[in-house]
Structure 1
């Protein structure tokens, strides 16, 4: 029988699984669940020349910038290892400097494949449900109507991300927001094996279908486009860590993507979550009868 349904009931394509809906402000993406996201590219300090004290101080400043985010916020940090472009050509005023550069170019091309790392930070915020927003308005007199002020929420999101950016700007040697075209290009690289610059359409919506140009095959041998995928998940953590613990990944000679997600919680909600976990562990205790039976 023919499927005459107006809409698909189950996801059938990669685009159906993607969360992005459209661009609603410069560099700001509206997701299908009503959340906002904004991406910045950055580059941290040189770990080879920084002392341990400098790294600890940088880590403390980063913690001070990110701990301001409460429940509803999420951080997505990604490091992509990709093939480096060819050696750039430059103009030199005298032959000696040109000769030194040519020797460096020859050594670069003879050593084989080269890889470079690109780093991106995505800030996402999911506003509270409309029912909670309406309940909050009942506490105020002469409050506006029942409709949710989405424009105000968008402006608040942009203002908060700008504050976080200003704090990170004093820590990171390089950091910049992505514009609309750069945002679409970055999102495209996360779901496609093809590399090209993505232009902004006249109506910047339904970007999920615009960006998903490679087929995704799941199962025991997943593939994206014509390339195989291998996913590694960290199940355990070391007893102690230090700043730059994963710096050796920047020296690998193959492409990969290292993604980290951090869900923010305010203090009250974090304490409730810890209390719930403690109760679960306490419920696993053995009774005296069970101990005697053993």
Structure 2
């Protein structure tokens, strides 16, 4: 079928093919790679530990420059049901049946999964070709895509190695896990996705529901509601939005950061500082100063403060304390009933505004805002004012309520018991770590 314009959801998805272990080639020529991670539990971590984790996360992010983007996503989804097990007698089976009934009466339980996607858009071929003129003795002239792919894999491995030292769980996804994760971002259905024999045309493979646009878009039978953070507090702290991890309904909390080189960030911040500094005095005040040869006593204090803030950002950038990035933070909820979807969004808005953030409920821009949450999509819903990578480390889902392992790997059996922790998150207790049983 030949079409000039995009008419289906698959046309809007950025993914094209798998070109390496867990590495996706996008339609714009960029590469992306996804990892699953879990941060420290905020309830059992001291503030100094969280500050240290945020600082090391900032240290990893600021090493990436222009062309690099990161997508951090928290997916809230229903927890696995109470597991079935075998018992030696009817009495113990009856006791477990009572525990299962108590667990089910507590309502639906939810847990969160956390993903980090790193994307890289190589420079244009003209730039790469000009760079090749500076070298002699190379076997191949021009652009070598496999060399770019190897460099991308090596760079992302080093970034994940920086995170692996302080994250309880951090690993790359394989091909099947990558496709399963990407499918979960573009569909309201959750199931495993197998790797096809020829892993091409991933957009058509992963799009299994139609997207209807408008002020209140629908994905399949579910009504989508999207909230984008547009205003930020004066001060941020690690895990500032951790309360979102305790909500008792499914959502996708996506944070995209399009990173900037030090040169590009310096040019941008210098321009912002100059514009705010010029706003301190109006044209009338400047003319009065010229005519009277006297300095104006009153200036716009707000503009002066913002110019000083931009100057402070330049100092942090120059000292390599932090980098700069275009950050877009979005929360997406859905439900078959539009009124329930609206109520879920109001609960999300309450949490976000309670932390001094400002959020806008998307209407005309709802489809673009949702597309901007897809890992690898760099062009939709880009928020222009830059943000420090240290503030970014505070905003992403850094902390996680730990639900425990789903199975006792030592005995190859269900956990010893099921409990309930903060919010609606279950807790699964297993005494064994490896072959060591922590009991008396």
Please, what TM-score do these two structures have when normalized by structure 2? 0.61
Report if the CA contact (8 A) 1:71-1:265 is conserved.
yes
Distance verdict in 2 for CA 1:96–1:7, change over 3 Å: same
How far apart are the structure 2 equivalents of 1:240 and 1:282? 22
Work out whether 1:197 is the aligned partner of 2:183.
no
Partner of 1:22: 17
Mapping of 1:1-294 within 5 angstroms? 7-90=2-85, 104-282=99-277, 284=279, 286-288=282-284
The higher-RCO structure (CA 8 Å, 6+ apart) is 1
Runs of 5+ consecutive residues of structure 2 not aligned to the other structure? 289-440
Structure 1 range deviating more: 230-239 or 276-285: 276-285
Distance verdict in 2 for CA 1:94–1:71, change over 3 Å: farther
State the shift of 1:281 in Å.
3.6
* 1:125-175 alpha-carbon deviations (Å, 9 max, x no partner): 111110000011112234454431110110011111111111111111011
Report if the CA contact (8 A) 1:83-1:115 is conserved.
yes
Distance verdict in 2 for CA 1:38–1:93, change over 3 Å: farther
Report if the CA contact (8 A) 1:62-1:171 is conserved.
no
Structure 1 range deviating more: 189-198 or 118-127: 189-198
How far apart are the structure 1 equivalents of 2:162 and 2:215? 43
State the shift of 1:282 in Å.
4.8
How far apart are the structure 1 equivalents of 2:119 and 2:94? 49
Report if the CA contact (8 A) 1:217-1:223 is conserved.
yes
How far apart are the structure 2 equivalents of 1:75 and 1:19? 15
State the shift of 1:93 in Å.
8.6
How far apart are the structure 1 equivalents of 2:174 and 2:91? 40
How far apart are the structure 1 equivalents of 2:82 and 2:13? 36
* 1:100-143 alpha-carbon deviations (Å, 9 max, x no partner): 76554333211111111111000001111100000111122344
Report if the CA contact (8 A) 1:75-1:121 is conserved.
yes
How far apart are the structure 2 equivalents of 1:107 and 1:93? 22
Q: Give the RMSD, CA atoms, in angstroms.
A: 2.2
Please, what TM-score do these two structures have when normalized by structure 1? 0.90
State the shift of 1:98 in Å.
7.5
